[in-house]
Amino acid sequence: MKVQTDSPVAKLHARALHCLKTGRKAEGITLLRQAIDLYPSSGDLHAELASVLGQNGDLEQAAEYYKKAARLAPKQPFIHYACGHFLLETGNAAEAERYFRKTFALMPEEVDALANVGTCLQLQKKFGEAENIFAKTLALQPINIQALYGMGQIYDALGDVSRAFNYFKQANELQSSDPIAKAISLRAFPAVINTFRNLIASGATASWTAPPLPDDTPGLAFLVGFPRSGTTLLDQILSGHPDLEVAEEKTGLAAAGNHIIATKKKMVPQALSSLSDEDIQELRRIYFATLKGMGVSLRPGSVFIDKLPLNLIYAPFIHRLFPEAKFILALRHPCDSVLSCYMQLFSINEAMIHFLDLERAARFYDLAFTGWEEAAAALKLKTHIVRYENVVQDLKGEVEAALDFLGLDWHDGMEAFDATARSRRIKTPSSGQVTQKIYSSARGRWHKYREYMGNVPETLRPWIEKFGYEID
C-alpha cells in the first residue's frame, strides 16, 4: 500500500493491524473499512479486509471484497491468487479458475497458480482439460506435488488404477524427500499415543474428578476418527441443524494443552492426574476463549461439536476437562481410510507424515485405534459410531441415530449438506467432495488397489474384523 507513513490512511491501517493482532477483530474490521473510505482505490486494503472477513466467517462479504480488490488491482498477481484460493476453499471452483488463470498470465513463473487451475478443472469434472493443465504444470516443474496428486486423482476417477497409483507414489516420495519432512520425527506422534496408553494402563484415571460445568455451557461432543473417514461430510450434514454448531478443526484443545506445558513444565499426559479443580477451570476457560476468538458462538441450550479427527488420540485429555462430553466416532473401512490418506495432499506435520507410506499409515491406524479403544474402555466414554458407508447409503437413518445420541431431532435442512458446505470455508482435503451431492464411488475403493497395498490389509485385519467389515 503506497501511502505516506504519517497519512490518515496509514495511521488507520496501523491501528487496524494492532487490533487484529490483539484479538479485537470487530474493531480492526471497522478501522479497515474507514481506511478504505479514505482510499477507495486501494486493492491492497480491499484484499486485506477480505482476508479478515473470511477468517471471521463473513464469506459473502469476503468474496465481494476479494473480487473488488482484483478489479482495483488488475496487474497484481498475488491479489488474484488470494481471491482464487478463497473461492476454491468456499467451493466456487469455476470462479476460482478464472483468478488462477489471471495469476498465471501475470506471473508465468508462478507454476502453483497453473496447478490450481488444474485442481479447479478437476473439481468441475473436466478431467481432460485438467489432465492437460497438470501435464503442462509438470512440464514446467516436474516436482510439482499438487499436479502429481491431481493426476493421480484424475486417473483414479477414470479407473486407471496403475497410472493413478504411480502418480500418488511419485508425489509421496517427493514429499518424503523434502527437507521439512526429513526434519520431522516419525517417532514423535506414536510416542504421544503411547504416553497416553501408559497413563491409562497405570490406573491413575480411576481417581479423576472435575468440577461441574456452568449451567449455560452448551452440550459438548467431539467428532473424532481416523482422517479420511467421512468426518468432513458428517460435519457439513450436522451443521445444517439449527441447534448444532460444529467447529471444524479449531485449536481450542491445543491452546489448553500448551498452557499445561507452559505452566506445569510437563507434557499433557504426565500432568493430567495432578490437575486441581482450579487448573481444570482455567483450562476450560482457555479452551472456550480460544474457540470464541475463532468465531465460534457457543450458544447456551445448543449442542457444540468440536470436529478434529485425530483428537481420537487425546480422548483422555478431553475426558479430564469434560467428563460428561460425548464422542461421535466416524468409521470407514480401515483399508479405504488408509488408502485415501495416501492419496491426499496434506500439510506435513508429525501426524500427517505417516501417510506418505502405505505400510506406515496402516501401523499408525493400528496404534491410534489401540490407544482409543483402551481409553474408551477405561474411561467409559459416551460414544456413538457413525459409519461412512451407512451415511452414503442411508443418510437420514444414520444421522438420525447420531442426533438421538445428542438429544436432538432430525431437521430437513441437514440433507442440503452440499449447500451448507458452499456457505462455509473448508480447509480440509475433503472440501471439493462435500460441496457435491452424495456419491458412492469411494466405497470399497481399496479393492481396486489391493495389489499395490502390500501387507496393509493384514496389518488392519484386527480392526476390519472388529468393526464388522470384510477383508475379502
> Is 36 in contact with 45 (CB distance < 8 Å)?
yes
Coil, strand or helix at 394: coil
Phi then psi for 74, rounded to 5 degrees? -65, -15
pLDDT value of position 431? 45
Cell 473461492 locates to 87
Q: If 0-12 CB within 10 Å is exposed, 13-18 middle and 19+ buried, where does residue 106 land?
A: middle
Phi, psi of 323 (to 5 degrees): -60, -20
What is the rounded CA–CA span in Å between residue 108 and residue 115? 12
The answer to whether the beta carbons of residues 39 and 58 sit under 8 Å apart is no
Q: Give the pLDDT confidence of 65-92 residue by residue, as tens digits.
A: 999 999 999 999 999 999 999 999 998 9
pLDDT for 434: 44
Residues paired with 219 in a beta bridge: 303
pLDDT, averaged per 10 consecutive residues of the chain (472 residues), comes to: 71 92 90 94 95 89 96 96 95 96 97 98 96 98 97 96 98 95 95 97 96 94 96 92 92 96 96 97 96 87 95 97 98 97 95 97 98 98 97 94 96 78 50 50 87 97 96 83
Residues linked to residue 304 through DSSP beta bridges, in sequence order: 220, 245
Phi/psi of residue 112, nearest 5 degrees = -60, -30
In whole angstroms, give the CA distance from residue 231 to residue 361.
Answer: 18
Is the CB of residue 324 less than 8 Å from the CB of residue 219? no
Q: Among candidates 369, 246, 224, 252, which has minimal Cα distance to 308? A: 224
CB-based burial, 82-92: b 16+ in 10 Å, e otherwise: bbbbbbbbbbb
pLDDT at 4: 57
Q: 389 vs 68, 406, 468, CA distance in Å?
A: 42, 21, 12
* Nearest CA among 256, 241, 247 for reference residue 304: 247
pLDDT digits (tens, 9 = 90+) for 28-50: 999 999 999 999 999 999 999 99
pLDDT of residue 51: 94
CA–CA dist 45, 13 (Å, integer)? 8
Report the distance separating Cα 293 and Cα 390, nearest Å. Answer: 35
pLDDT of residue 65: 96
> What is the pLDDT, as a whole number, of residue 7?
87
Q: Would you state the pLDDT for residue 467? A: 97
Tell me the C-alpha distance between 232 and 434, whole Å.
7
All three cell numbers of 250, joined, read 479449531
One-letter amino acid identity for 291? L
Q: Residue written as cell 516436482?
A: 143
The strand pairing partners of 387, in sequence order, are 331
Q: Are 375 and 316 in contact (CB under 8 A)?
A: yes
DSSP-derived letter for residue 355 is: G
| pLDDT tens column, 362-373 | 999 999 999 999
pLDDT in tens, 333-359: 999 999 999 999 999 999 999 999 999
Q: Any idea which residue has 477507495 for its cell?
A: 40
The pLDDT of residue 179 is 94
Rg (alpha carbons) of the chain, rounded to whole number:
23
As a whole number of angstroms, the distance between CA 302 and CA 251 comes to 20
Give the three cell numbers for residue 221. Answer: 461432543
Half-sphere exposure of 420 (CA within 13 A, CB side): 22
- Could you tell me what percent of the chain has a pLDDT over 70? 93
Enclosing H/E stretch for 456: helix 456-466
What is residue 297's predicted lDDT score, i.e. its pLDDT? 85
Asked whether the beta carbons of 54 and 47 are under 8 A apart, the reply is: no
Q: What pLDDT sits at residue 350?
A: 95
As a whole number of Å, the end-to-end CA separation of the chain is 62
For cell 458452499, name the residue.
Answer: 422
> CA 417, CA 185: separation in Å to the nearest integer?
38
Cα separation, 253 vs 258, in Å, equals 9
Rama region for 228: left / alpha / beta (φ>0; ψ in -120 to 50; rest): left
Helices (H), 145-301: 145-157, 161-177, 179-182, 188-202, 231-238, 252-264, 268-271, 277-293
Considering only CA atoms, which of 94, 45, 112 is closest in space to residue 73? 45
Q: Are 314 and 210 in contact (CB under 8 A)?
A: no
Q: In what order do the strands lie in the sheet with 326-331?
A: 244-248, 303-307, 219-225, 326-331, 382-387
